[in-house]
Amino acid sequence: MIREHICKVLKRQDPVLLVHILEEVVAEWSEFTLHYIQFLGANYDVRLETVFRDIATKFGVKDSRGTLLVPEFGHSDFA
């Protein structure tokens, strides 16, 4: 259903716009692929550091001691 809707919308678009959309999708996919190739090709220490850096960027709280990760545990986490 979603695929058909997307196809219907894209069929109504200008070919120049479609080429631009395709260029953007290919560029994003290439960056995504490169990131994961580099990640999977790295040793364990680098991969672990990358994961912690990503978590700190998304969920970290800046503090005078550095970046803190404040987990919020629910009841089910302790069960």
- 41-76, pLDDT tens digit by residue? 999 999 999 988 888 888 888 889 888 888 777 777
Q: Is the dihedral of CA 71, 74, 78, 79 positive or negative?
A: negative
Same domain? 67 vs 32: no
Model pLDDT, residue 17: 94
Q: Which of 65, 49, 73 is nearest to 57 (CA)?
A: 49
Q: Of the given ranges (4-13, 36-45, 66-75), which has the lowest mean pLDDT?
A: 66-75
Say whether pTM exceeds 0.85: no
Same domain? 47 vs 37: no
Provide mean pLDDT across the span 22-39: 95
Same domain? 37 vs 52: no
Same domain? 48 vs 35: no
Same domain? 20 vs 54: no
Q: Which domain holds residue 68?
A: 43-79
Same domain? 28 vs 55: no
Number of domains in the chain: 2
d(CA 32, CA 26): 10
Same domain? 4 vs 28: yes
Q: What one-character DSSP code corresponds to residue 73?
A: -
Model pLDDT, residue 23: 97
Model pLDDT, residue 79: 62
Q: What one-character DSSP code corresponds to residue 13?
A: S
